[in-house]
Amino acid sequence: MPVKREDDIATTVVDRVTTENGELVLRCVGSHFEIISNGTFLMDTRDGQSERLLVDAAVDAAADAAGAAGLRVLIGGLGVGFSLGAAVARPEVGHIVVVERELPVITWQSGPLAPFSDHAPHDPRVEIRHTDLVAWVHAAADDAAGEVPSGAERFDVLCLDIDNGPDWTVTSSNDSLYGDAGLRALRRRLRPGGVLAVWSAAASPAFAARLAAVFDDVRAEEVPVRVPRGVPDVVYLAR
């Protein structure tokens, strides 16, 4: 039987929107969807293993530490919804805040991408915020006296997947999240015993070193990808 090559599979543009961050395209390739941001591949629906691990590994670690139910989880970057679906599937999770800066991505979750989060936005624990994660993180910066604002919102788990990784950001405005000040601001957003998880399309030794300078305990989990000769995805976990 002849094998159909990817190039032969029909591709249709489902939506094309220009936002303040540039052009965003949702396209359908056979039975799969792809999100393209300013011409760069951002996410697809083919394999969500590492995006789910991002949540599961962090929730496991936070639940071990806190022995807790009712964990507060933040997911940075909705994408196609794999990470959100993983969070909703965890009974230890009491509240999930999704921070997404692109309105079309939120809208697609009520349309063609709904199955990939298992229709998670309907779960009463889920709150989706249309805002910039980087701005939200830095809003918890120290004041002049080195104090964290008392009203700063904190989480047991922060799961970040807004880029292709710390070394391959989708817009330069995201770069600061992965630097020393960004990591310190992220630490301030964690409750005691809380866990930060960061997704990357490849290992980043420099980022791992910066994490280790800010957090006491850092580890990395690798997830092989299906692409021939592709390097593994990496989930960094820090507490």
Name the segment binding ligand SAM (CB under 6 A); options: 64-72, 98-106, 146-154, 220-228: 98-106
- In whole angstroms, the minimum distance from the beta carbon of 13 to ligand SAM comes to 17
160 lines the binding site for ligand SAM (CB under 6 A): no
Interface with ligand SAM (CB under 6 A), residue from 89, 114, 170, 214: 170
Identity of the residue, 150 or 172, whose beta carbon is nearer to ligand SAM in the bound complex? 172
Specify the 3-state DSSP secondary structure of 80: coil
Identity of the residue, 138 or 193, whose beta carbon is nearer to ligand SAM in the bound complex? 138
98 lines the binding site for ligand SAM (CB under 6 A): no
Query: CA–CA separation, 103 vs 110, rounded Å?
Result: 12
- Structure tokens of 194? 């809380």
Identity of the residue, 47 or 60, whose beta carbon is nearer to ligand SAM in the bound complex? 47
Residue 113: which of 51, 189, 61, 176 has the closest Cα? 51
99 lines the binding site for ligand SAM (CB under 6 A): yes
Residue 82: which of 47, 50, 116 has the closest Cα? 116
Query: CA–CA separation, 54 vs 43, rounded Å?
Result: 15
Identity of the residue, 153 or 217, whose beta carbon is nearer to ligand SAM in the bound complex? 153
29 lines the binding site for ligand SAM (CB under 6 A): no
Identity of the residue, 83 or 204, whose beta carbon is nearer to ligand SAM in the bound complex? 83
- In whole angstroms, the minimum distance from the beta carbon of 5 to ligand SAM comes to 26
DSSP annotation of 5 reads P
80 lines the binding site for ligand SAM (CB under 6 A): yes
Query: CA–CA separation, 95 vs 73, rounded Å?
Result: 6
DSSP annotation of 152 reads -
Which residues between 108 and 127 bind ligand SAM (CB under 6 A)? none
Interface with ligand SAM (CB under 6 A), residue from 100, 108, 218, 234: 100
Query: CA–CA separation, 19 vs 40, rounded Å?
Result: 15
Query: CA–CA separation, 44 vs 21, rounded Å?
Result: 19
CB 176, CB 170: distance < 8 Å: no
Per-residue binding letters, 34-73, with ligand SAM (x by CB under 6 A) = --------xx----x--x----------------------
Using the CB atoms, write b or e for 63-100: b if 16+ within 10 Å.
Answer: beebebeebbbbbbbbbbbbbbbbbbebebbebbbbbb
Which residues between 173 and 192 bind ligand SAM (CB under 6 A)? 174
Identity of the residue, 99 or 218, whose beta carbon is nearer to ligand SAM in the bound complex? 99
Helix (H), strand (E) at residue 97? strand 93-100
Q: Which amino acid is at 81?
A: G
DSSP β-bridge partners for residue 41: 36
For ligand SAM, the binding residues (CB under 6 A) are: 42-43, 48, 51, 76-83, 99-102, 105, 132-134, 161-162, 170, 174
